[in-house]
Structure 1
Amino acid sequence: MDFQNKAFQTSLTDNIDYPEFCLKASLDYSIFRDFRRNEIYRIALEHDSFEQGLEYLEATKKSSSNVLSKINEFLKNDQIGNPEVFDYDGIGTIAPPTLRYIKILSDLESEFGTLDNVNICEIGVGYGGMCRIINSYFKVKTYTLVDLKPVLMLAQRYLDHYPLNTTLIYKTMNELSKENYDLVISNYAFTEIRREVQDIYLEKVLLSATKGYITYNEINPEDFHSYTKEELIQLIPQIRVNPEVGILHPKDCTLVW
């Protein structure tokens, strides 16, 4: 498949190697069964360390959320894709990125309470792990996954292994129509794209969303001209800036409204 030249990439992961691998993994079972071990994929998504996983776990334990009551359900996330897993006391064998998703779920419950019967949009979906974690805990009404087409194909193959009590909707950026979502989520992805693409997501999703949770970083090339935290607060004044754990860069944080 002929993807965009790197000079025109829309995001840090829109770099030919990552979407091309996602396409191959979505179509070929011999690749799909171990996709979370692949070096290209690990650089993009499966790079959290044991120590970072421990930070996510400790933050979850300290939160007001009760999500760890469903840990046996969350462990099922790692039955697909053969991720690198570690043993954590009192939890079991689990991949650090899965602990990150659980930590985000605990943040969502602590910030917003129940997500039953809400309409969620996630921008940048990885393999669908966050979607699966949320939907194994809450009974979400609809869950819209937005990403590049090859990434969506891989996420759909992954999520099709699990029965979910929601309606899943897969959309690329240009397939999205403007909607009033109850909650928009983006785990670094929104802050890793070009400003002109961010503008599309702001117009179609973020500015009209009732609630939001964005994991924020500042690692883009200068030519992306991506929105800074301060600029986003100007656009969405109700944003609260919360510290993040397991950070890779000093400016990492979460933006919540």
Structure 2
Amino acid sequence: MEHNFQASRQWERIQNRWITEDAGADLTRLKSDSRNFKLSLWDPATNGVRYLKTLAYNLGMALTPQELARISRTPNREVGGPTTVRCQGETLCLDYLQATFEVGFIESGVDLDGARVLEIGAGYGRTCHMIMSNHDLSGYCIVDLKNTLELSRAYLREVLDESRFKLIDFIEVESLTAASLRSERFDLCINIHSMTEMAPETVRSYLDLIDATCAAFYVKNPVGKYIDKSLDGYLQGEEAVQMALENGPLRQLLDIHDSEAVQAAVPAFVDGYRPGSAWTCAGDGRALPWSYLWQALYKKSRR
């Protein structure tokens, strides 16, 4: 039998284009350029979906039975055409993986059955969807900007049954006044990754509202700001970066991929999102899967 030790057509092409004769001449960028992207890694600039699916898959395979059951009880997750993987018999996307972590953290300190919930900035409504699919609430109130509110209204109408959808009040930010909602009472307020995008004085206004109306507060936001053009090449432009740096209660710069730097910023996070002096932090921790997002649950002392 004649042996064949020749390179395949695929690798002939790679040698001609990427791993060329002078590939070893300069090792400065070896592990972050096309040479290594053909040898060991996939280029993140062109393989974002591959890495997103890998992240979702690894998170999905590590889910506890309780986390998986929470997702399973949340119907119609396919609405909107998410990027998905299939793990342990369930179709999963990164949004609802995060939601089960968020709701699990909340459940550890707040009894949601029969609760009335206020959410400030609900996105398209994933957290509301999961909470209402897993608990019998007495009501849910979403406060948001007009266009985003219309998006969450449309999405939640699509994914929830009529009886649950009717429990939701949608309130436009533009209609809020200093006295708005002050006579209301909520068992829990939720804010996920939006106070960091508000002007500092707006955050303080919301924290005052939470102090006046809520018994518990769950927050998930970055521990600080960062400047790292390698992440997205400042796709939205320098002005967008500068606007982001102006907002939120925590505006110190840090290396968000340095665990010690993130941990050092945690005390300021816990203090910065505390609604008032009567509130204690019942628990806090890293918000998977992100390196720099932290979560905390506060409770108001009864007097």
Q: Following the alignment from structure 2 to structure 1, what is the Cα–Cα distance between the partners of residues 156 and 115? A: 19
Given candidates 200, 214, 228, the residue that maps to 2:205 is 200
CA shift in 2, pair 1:156/1:234, >3 Å: closer
Name 1:38's counterpart in structure 2: none
Q: Secondary structure at the match of 1:243?
A: strand
Q: Following the alignment from structure 1 to structure 2, what is the Cα–Cα distance between the partners of residues 134 and 81? A: 19
What amino acid maps onto 1:105 in structure 2?
A: V
Q: Following the alignment from structure 1 to structure 2, what is the Cα–Cα distance between the partners of residues 55 and 241? A: 26
The question of whether the paired residues in 1 share the 8 Å contact of 2:56 and 2:85 is answered with no
Q: Secondary structure at the match of 2:108?
A: helix
Q: Following the alignment from structure 2 to structure 1, what is the Cα–Cα distance between the partners of residues 147 and 247? A: 22
Name 2:28's counterpart in structure 1: none
Q: Are residue 131 (structure 1) and residue 128 (structure 2) matched? A: yes
Report deviation, 1:249: 4.1
Uncovered stretches (5+) of structure 1, i.e. residues with no partner: 1-45
Given candidates 164, 186, 190, the residue that maps to 2:191 is 186
Given candidates 102, 105, 111, the residue that maps to 1:104 is 102
CA shift in 2, pair 1:50/1:245, >3 Å: farther
Q: Secondary structure at the match of 1:238?
A: strand
Name 2:273's counterpart in structure 1: 232
The question of whether the paired residues in 2 share the 8 Å contact of 1:55 and 1:245 is answered with no
Moved more, 142-151 or 201-210: 201-210
Q: Following the alignment from structure 1 to structure 2, what is the Cα–Cα distance between the partners of residues 59 and 202? A: 35
Name 1:243's counterpart in structure 2: 285
Q: Following the alignment from structure 2 to structure 1, what is the Cα–Cα distance between the partners of residues 83 and 186? A: 34
Q: Secondary structure at the match of 1:213?
A: strand
Given candidates 151, 154, 157, the residue that maps to 1:160 is 157
Name 2:56's counterpart in structure 1: 53
What amino acid maps onto 1:111 in structure 2?
A: G
Q: Following the alignment from structure 1 to structure 2, what is the Cα–Cα distance between the partners of residues 146 and 167? A: 14
CA shift in 2, pair 1:223/1:85, >3 Å: same
Q: Following the alignment from structure 1 to structure 2, what is the Cα–Cα distance between the partners of residues 208 and 172? A: 18
Q: Following the alignment from structure 2 to structure 1, what is the Cα–Cα distance between the partners of residues 284 and 70? A: 25
Q: Higher helix proportion, which one?
A: 1
Q: What do the CA deviations read for 1:47-95 (whole angstroms, capped 9, x no partner)?
A: x934543565577528xxx453344332x3422111111112x142121
The question of whether the paired residues in 2 share the 8 Å contact of 1:124 and 1:147 is answered with yes
State the TM-score, normalized to the length of structure 2: 0.59
1:56-67 maps to which residues of 2 (within 5 A)?
Answer: 57=60, 61=64, 66=66
Given candidates 121, 135, 140, the residue that maps to 2:137 is 140
Q: What do the CA deviations read for 1:182-230 (whole angstroms, capped 9, x no partner)?
A: 1001111123211121122122234541011100212374433625523
Q: What do the CA deviations read for 1:144-187 (whole angstroms, capped 9, x no partner)?
A: 11111111111111111221536100012243422331100111
Which of structures 1 and 2 has the bigger CA Rg?
Answer: 2
Q: Following the alignment from structure 1 to structure 2, what is the Cα–Cα distance between the partners of residues 52 and 59? A: 11
Identity of aligned residues (%): 21
Q: What do the CA deviations read for 1:113-151 (whole angstroms, capped 9, x no partner)?
A: x31211101111111111111001101111011111111
CA shift in 2, pair 1:212/1:56, >3 Å: farther
The question of whether the paired residues in 2 share the 8 Å contact of 1:60 and 1:103 is answered with no
Uncovered stretches (5+) of structure 2, i.e. residues with no partner: 1-48, 226-242, 251-267, 299-303
What amino acid maps onto 2:82 in structure 1?
A: P
The question of whether the paired residues in 1 share the 8 Å contact of 2:118 and 2:142 is answered with yes
CA shift in 2, pair 1:206/1:149, >3 Å: farther
Name 2:92's counterpart in structure 1: 94
State the TM-score, normalized to the length of structure 1: 0.69
Name 1:213's counterpart in structure 2: 218
Instruction: Figure out how many residues of one structure are paired with residues of the other and give that number.
Output: 204
